[in-house]
Amino acid sequence: MEKGYQQLLSGYVNILLGYISSYDNTASQAEKETTEDMHQALLFIHNNYYKDICSEDIAIAINWGYSRFRKVFLQQTGMTPYQYIQETRIKHSKFLLLNTTKPLKEIAYDVGFSNPDYFSTAFRRITGISPHSFRIDER
């Protein structure tokens, strides 16, 4: 092997390692940005669950397209944005059921359900019992 090829090859290896390192840093930065955007989406839900919000509203709030948002949200949380909103509403309704004497109808509206019957149906689907039974059993 002629002199200089080893140094040349070493230079190419260093350049290649630089590209790999740069790619890893870029991927990590993109992942960090995605994670931060998902945190912003969750914060948006927790700050607005009691309003009439939908997945599209959340995607707009974090400046993402709906399809990409829904796909990444599902990957990150294991549920759709709609399911997460419903779970959040039910979680807050449990608190109100246990810590207030508000009627079920009022609690349904307070946590963002537009129909008290649908609230009862969603509550039963998620918890396995009715809101009334939950209030009685957990006190």
Cα separation, 136 vs 126, whole angstroms: 17
For all residues of the chain together, what is the average pLDDT?
A: 87
Kindly report the pTM of this predicted structure: 0.77
127's CB contacts (< 8 A; 6+ apart) are 90, 94, 134
| In the predicted structure, residue 24 carries a pLDDT above the cut 60 | no
84-138 has CATH 1.10.10.60 classification: yes
Structural domain boundaries of the chain? 84-138
pLDDT tens, 72-101?
999 999 999 999 999 999 999 999 999 999
Compute the C-alpha angle 87/93/97, nearest 5°: 145
Rounded to the nearest 5 percent, the helix, strand and coil shares of the chain are 80, 0, 20
Helix (H) or strand (E) holding 115: none
pLDDT at 106: 97
Report residue 31's pLDDT band, with 50, 70 and 90 as the boundaries: confident
Copy the structure tokens of residue 107.
Answer: 């609690």
pLDDT at 6: 63
C-alpha 13 chain-centroid distance: 41
